[in-house]
Amino acid sequence: MLTGAQLRATVGWIAAQQDASGALPWFSGGQLDPWDSVEAAMALDVGGEHARAAAAYRWLVGRQRADGSWAAEYRDGAESSPAAESNHAGYLAVGAWHSWLAAGDEQLVTDLWPAVRRALDLVVRMQLAGGAVSWALRPDGIPDDTALLTGNASLFQALRCGIALAGLCGESQPDWELAVSDLGEALRGRPGAFADRSRYSMDWYYPVLGGAVTGTAAHERLDGAWDTFVVPGLGARCVSDHPWVTGAETCELSLALAAAGRRDAAVEQLAAMQHLRDPDGAYFTGFVYADDAIWPVERTTWTAGAVVLAADALSGASPAAGLFTDLAALPRAGMPVGEYADSPAGRAGTVRP
């Protein structure tokens, strides 16, 4: 459905949105949030733009607060929404591990590791009694008592990537291992630990995408709300009660399907969202099919990034292609990196400790 030249055009469009400082916003001159910036940076690494990806990560490192957090939003390099959210703190670990798999840049790992460590230490401090992680810090620095399922599923992956990076850097992080174990139990068996946002498709597929729900349980979860969220030929709704399909959610669903072993369905979803592609390789955020209208009329780096990551996962084109879909591409909690290097994935050259 996509040629190499088309994907290179998409990566080139993402690169063109990056500021000279390294900041990677939603689009040139637009807002930047840490999670989406990492998503777009991962796509740059897939496309061979490692220097640009590294610049985006180093920009984030330069703006990390002393407590390990970032602001929820930046504009023109300044904080425009100061809230400290746990999923924003965690996702740098995923980007750093992905970049290691893609490019094997030891210096970048060394440069990013202190920021990853501070960020995941904050995430662990924000974990609530039932294993779920608070979504944000209150103004007084106390974790809010609300946890969000999608963000927690992303943090499950982030903590595992952080544990892998810790092994690579010769450090142990037993607190992270305990935290990810408790978080996994909450994601699999304690639905009451999370706020009810079941109208959002991300709460449906993200526990599978993040790696917390696997096997038969993953298939059951994906089957359970398929008709609620999937619009044949167009992609996935963002929310169940609006006639609006969105590109990033559709690509993330594709990744979740691939993680569950449903490759054909994953390819079908990536194909379905191509109606959002612009001729220059950019992607519009979404489409209101009841009105036959693109909305909002914006093209975002994180949507384009999700396309590149899904295409990479399905094609196996880069050394990081298995991060979201292959359990062997990420060390188990507590698995020494040296042991991982002796595994089939390690021998394939994805890790060079």
pLDDT string in tens for the chain (353-residue length): 899 999 999 999 999 999 999 999 999 999 999 999 999 999 999 999 999 999 999 999 999 999 999 999 999 999 999 999 999 999 999 999 999 999 999 999 999 999 999 999 999 999 999 999 999 999 999 999 999 999 999 999 999 999 999 999 999 999 999 999 999 999 999 999 999 999 999 999 999 999 999 999 999 999 999 999 999 999 999 999 999 999 999 999 999 999 999 999 999 999 999 999 999 999 999 999 999 999 999 999 999 999 999 999 999 999 999 999 986 666 554 454 445 444 444 433 333 32
DSSP-assigned letter for residue 191: G
Residue 75 is inside which H or E element, if any? strand 73-75
Q: Widest CA span of the chain, in angstroms? A: 55
Structure tokens at 45: 């690494």
DSSP-assigned letter for residue 330: S
| Sequence-distant (≥ 6) Cβ neighbours of residue 199 within 8 angstroms | 239, 240, 241
pLDDT at 346: 44
Of 134, 130, 58, 150, nearest to 95 by C-alpha is 58
The CATH code of the domain at 4-350 is: 1.50.10.10
> In the chain, what are the domain boundaries?
4-350
Buried b (16+ CB within 10 A) or exposed e, 283-320: bbbbbebeeeebeeeebbbbbbbbbbbbbbbbeeebbb
pLDDT at 351: 35
Residue 80 is inside which H or E element, if any? strand 78-81
Which pTM value belongs to this model?
A: 0.94
| Cα four-point dihedral sign 28, 34, 39, 42 | positive
Tokens 């023109």 label which residue?
76
3-state helix, strand, coil in the chain (%, to 5): 55, 10, 35
Three-state DSSP class for residue 44 = helix
